[in-house]
């Protein structure tokens, strides 16, 4: 047998068929490997790209990483439509099917416990951006300072305006997080995002994930929508529904 | 940036998701299992930590014109392999000229664009 096995997720047997022609990270179709009533979602990947050394080198290549991450997420996303998958971290690779089976056997109790905990739930991502900063910067050269003292005063005013904005942004973000956390079953705060990667404008002041039952999702989205125009200069962004990435690892290895 | 905008969204629901949304989940969240292929998880963690650190200092980095993933030894052995990489890039360019279809697979082009715009 040539090729290695890349594992995307573990889930219960699917109630509905997986989307036909679902392609995985190396362009090969994603397949279901049943072991003792649990499913591992796998695909063949070439040894040339996914053996230790090659994979290591690839992971340092942001372009390769981008393509692979998107393909990985594409499979997880298709699964999320039909079931509650436990997403594995990118780059989980085995020599062959029997390697996958051994892993499934070793982790079976963990998987079942986590699947029970997350069944019927999805993750929603909510980010808040403060957008007013560029306007302030642009306004600066307009008023030319007549003296050193004026200059310092202007600087102080600018600093104060920026502080106000940050304070407002922080208050808004923490109020929003409280509201959404109260609705959601669970919540996680993530580090703010790097604009170079996200391509988003403004400064990311809240980056959070919320675990919400599928049937509560509509209401959750409405709840987020209602906050959107609350404060000028602040922007709220919603992503999802995601597989419960941010909540899957909790009872991981040790539990 | 060009990286994020280069490709159409491969999935419909998470329409607002950007590259950072995806990377933070597939690299840093989800279940960690040691497979047969021992990728150095520490390195992935380094990479993730790097993504985080950059968040805090991205403005400063931009000011200084740092192409952050390029010259960071923790992120990239490229800094150490500089010559090999350059040679590789040259070969890729030649190959790209011979095979126009492969041009879009060439990662170094993107990075040059990054360097010029950053």
Could you report the per-residue pLDDT of A39-74, keeping only the tens digit for each? 999 999 999 999 988 888 887 777 788 899 999 999
Q: Report the gap between the CA of A175 and the closest CA in chain B (Å).
A: 22
For A121-248, the fitting CATH number among 3.30.70, 2.40.128, 2.60.40, 3.40.50 is 3.30.70
Q: Which of these, A14, A8, A181, A198, lies nearest to A100 by C-alpha position?
A: A8
Q: Which residue has the higher pLDDT, A169 or B103?
A: A169
Q: How far apart are CA A30 and CA B82, in angstroms?
A: 36
Contact A92 B16 (CB under 8 A): no
Q: Supply the pLDDT for residue B71.
A: 45
Confidence of residue A168 (pLDDT cuts 50, 70, 90): confident
Q: Supply the pLDDT for residue B6.
A: 29
Are A123 and A80 within 8 A, CB to CB? no
Q: How far apart are CA A240 and CA B14, in angstroms?
A: 4
User: Which residue's entry shows tokens 């004026």?
Assistant: A150
Both tokens of B68, joined, read: 């952050």
Q: Supply the pLDDT for residue A132.
A: 59
Across B59-84, average pLDDT: 46
- A239 strand-pairing partners: A125
Q: Report the gap between the CA of A151 and the closest CA in chain B (Å).
A: 23
Q: Supply the pLDDT for residue A60.
A: 73
Contact A94 B35 (CB under 8 A): yes
Across A134-157, average pLDDT: 68
Judging contacts by C-beta atoms under 8 Å, the chain B residues touching residue A239 are 14-17, 21
Crossing angle of helices A52-59 and A62-82, rounded to 10°:
100
Q: How far apart are CA A204 and CA A195, in angstroms?
A: 8
Within the 56-75 window of chain A, which residues sit less than 8 Å (CB to CB) from chain B? 56-57, 59-67, 69-74
Phi, psi angles (nearest 5°) of residue A65: -60, -40
Q: How far apart are CA A193 and CA B20, in angstroms?
A: 7
DSSP A142: G
Contact B3 A62 (CB under 8 A): yes
ipTM of the complex: 0.85
Q: How far apart are CA A198 and CA B24, in angstroms?
A: 11
Domain borders along chain A are: 4-118, 121-248
Q: Supply the pLDDT for residue B27.
A: 83
Q: Report the gap between the CA of B4 and the closest CA in chain A (Å).
A: 7
Q: How far apart are CA B30 and CA B11, in angstroms?
A: 19
Q: How far apart are CA B118 and CA B115, in angstroms?
A: 5
Are A232 and B104 within 8 A, CB to CB? no
- B27 strand-pairing partners: none
CB-based burial label for A8 (10 Å; 0-12, 13-18, 19+):
buried
Q: How far apart are CA A85 and CA A34, in angstroms?
A: 14
């Amino acid at each position: 047998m040539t090729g290695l096995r890349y594992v995307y997720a573990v889930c219960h047997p699917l109630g509905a068929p997986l989307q036909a022609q679902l392609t995985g990270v190396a362009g090969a179709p994603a397949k279901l490997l049943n072991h003792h009533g649990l499913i591992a979602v796998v695909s063949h990947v070439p040894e040339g790209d996914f053996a230790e050394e090659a994979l290591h080198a690839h992971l340092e290549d942001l372009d390769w990483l981008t393509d692979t991450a998107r393909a990985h997420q594409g499979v997880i996303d298709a699964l999320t439509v039909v079931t509650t998958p436990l997403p594995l971290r990118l780059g989980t690779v085995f020599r062959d099917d029997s390697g996958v089976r051994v892993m499934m056997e070793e982790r079976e109790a963990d998987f079942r416990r986590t699947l029970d905990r997350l069944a019927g739930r999805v993750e929603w991502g909510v980010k808040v951006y403060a957008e007013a900063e560029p306007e302030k910067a642009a306004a600066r050269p307009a008023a030319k300072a007549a003296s050193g003292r004026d200059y310092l005063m202007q600087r102080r005013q600018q600093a104060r305006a920026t502080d106000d904005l940050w304070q407002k942004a922080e208050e808004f973000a923490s109020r929003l997080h409280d509201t959404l956390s109260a609705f959601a079953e669970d919540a996680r705060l993530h580090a703010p995002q790097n604009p170079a990667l996200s391509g988003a404008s403004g400064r990311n002041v809240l980056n959070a994930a919320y675990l919400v039952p599928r049937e509560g999702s509509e209401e959750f989205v409405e709840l987020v929508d209602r906050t959107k125009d609350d404060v000028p200069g602040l922007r709220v962004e919603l992503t999802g529904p995601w597989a419960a990435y941010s909540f899957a690892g909790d009872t991981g290895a040790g539990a | 940036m060009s990286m994020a905008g280069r490709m159409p969204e491969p999935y419909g629901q998470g329409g607002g998701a950007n590259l950072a949304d995806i990377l933070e989940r597939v690299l840093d969240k989800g279940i960690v299992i040691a497979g047969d292929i021992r990728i150095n998880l520490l390195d992935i963690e380094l990479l993730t930590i790097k993504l985080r650190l950059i968040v805090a200092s991205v403005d400063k980095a931009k000011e200084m014109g740092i192409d952050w993933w390029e010259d960071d030894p923790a992120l990239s052995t490229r800094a150490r392999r500089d010559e090999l990489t350059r040679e590789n890039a040259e070969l890729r360019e030649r190959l790209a000229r011979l095979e126009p279809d492969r041009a879009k697979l060439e990662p170094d082009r993107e990075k040059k664009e990054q360097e010029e715009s950053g």
